[in-house]
Chains A and B, each alone.
Chain A
């Protein structure tokens, strides 16, 4: 069965303290791996798509990487405004639906 697992469930960082979020996946045929940011009471906001192992994408303080079994979202020198839930999702062959993980709740303290 296709599955997505995110860790840790929650993470507290001091401002400027870099860290990484993990998304491990088991799918029959990867169509793409997606990272989203979600603020409380709002819909997820698209960040990145990764298609194949070895691919990397960057946006401001965020960098996403992909291997055959997992993806990492690296946050460099985070700021309080980076506080949010970060969701990972996979698209699989033969369908356009996504399978989401349960997310990592990130809190960055000033």
Chain B
């Protein structure tokens, strides 16, 4: 297992365009999380899934943002009508609900630049 994979690593888009990011979690992890991080700040929670169910969403997740996790495997995060304020690193993480150290494993992130 190579860990949590995110694609693409970098995305530059024009304001108003739609973008979609993909996350492939560690295969045995049933929980998947999306966070957003801007320069000099810690990651901010966006949403999380347990299996295919989206259990919690932040109020940061406006109606322009949508996330899915079909079949409880990979997940996508879509941003519609992008704005310059959406420029950030989007981080995906996964964890296993069956115990252990409870820490997340993060991917390397997708850096979004809206011009």
Contact = CB atoms under 8 A, between A and B. Distances in A.
Interface residues of A, number: 24
User: What is the interface of chain A mostly: helix, strand, loop, or mixed?
Assistant: strand
Given A43-B91, A43-B108, A96-B31, A101 B42 contact: yes
A91 B42 contact: no
Contacts, number: 61
A103 interface: yes
Contact of B106 (A43, A49, A99, A102): A43
A21 interface: no
A97 interface: yes
A6 to B, nearest CB: 8
Given A34-B103, A46-B103, A98-B104, A89 B42 contact: yes
A89 to B, nearest CB: 7
B55 to A, nearest CB: 8
Interface of A: 4, 31-32, 34, 36, 41-46, 49, 87, 89, 91, 95-103
Interface of B: 4, 31, 33, 40-45, 48, 50, 55-56, 58, 91, 93, 95, 101-109, 111
